[in-house]
Amino acid sequence: ERLNAEIRCSNAAKGQFLASMSHEIRTPLNGIVGMSGLLLDSGVSDEQRGYIDDIRKSCEALLVVMNDVLDISTIEANRIVLENEVFDLQYCLEEAIRLVMPSALKKHLEIVCKVAEDLPSVWVGDIGRLRQILVNLLANAIKFTEQGEIVVSVSGAPEGAGEYRLEFAVQD
């Protein structure tokens, strides 16, 4: 029992540390993203625009990592809360693909999206977490794919009264 209490205490301290560090790192990263957006609107050359856009995208990627770290500490503390909001599945997929497309283009990779035709277009769930998971899967696929294409597919089946089980796959 004493060991379990020590483990819980250690996990709580780790969770607080991760949350604090995540906040401390995300704040300046958000500032860099915001300032780079302002720079992009300030009449810079095409070459400068490319550099600024790379800075902004790199910061956004770091923000995704920081959110992942915070999510892990939240899950470990059994405090994760999933949102229930109405969202369009195709829009969610397009947003995830848009976020990783610059990396795919640099490697001359194509991203193909296949959604089963029998699936509804409107869903209720946590679009933010779904998009985050898809971005992570796509980023990994891009990282480990040298040529060709990456295919994102979504299928699903009804599980009961108004409930579906969706299956997402990323194939490289």
- Determine phi and psi for 110, rounding to 5 degrees: -100, 140
Secondary structure (DSSP) of the chain: -HHHHHHHHHHHHHHHHHHHHHHHHHHHHHHHHHHHHHHHTS---HHHHHHHHHHHHHHHHHHHHHHHHHHHHHHHTT------EEEEHHHHHHHHHHHHHHHHHHTT-EEEEEE-TTS-SEEEE-HHHHHHHHHHHHHHHHHT--SSEEEEEEEEEEEETTEEEEEEEEE-
pLDDT confidence of 114, banded at 50, 70, 90?
A: very high
Residues 50-100 have pLDDT tens digits of: 889 888 888 887 887 777 777 776 666 666 777 899 999 999 999 999 888
What is the token pair recorded at 130?
């779904």
Q: Which long-range contacts (CB under 8 A, 24 or more apart) does 45-52 make?
A: none
Residues 116-152 have pLDDT tens digits of: 999 999 999 988 889 888 988 998 999 899 999 999 9
State residue 78's pLDDT score.
Answer: 66
Q: Is pTM beyond 0.85 here?
A: no
State residue 77's pLDDT score.
Answer: 65
Pick the closest to residue 107 from 67, 147, 68 (CA basis). Answer: 147
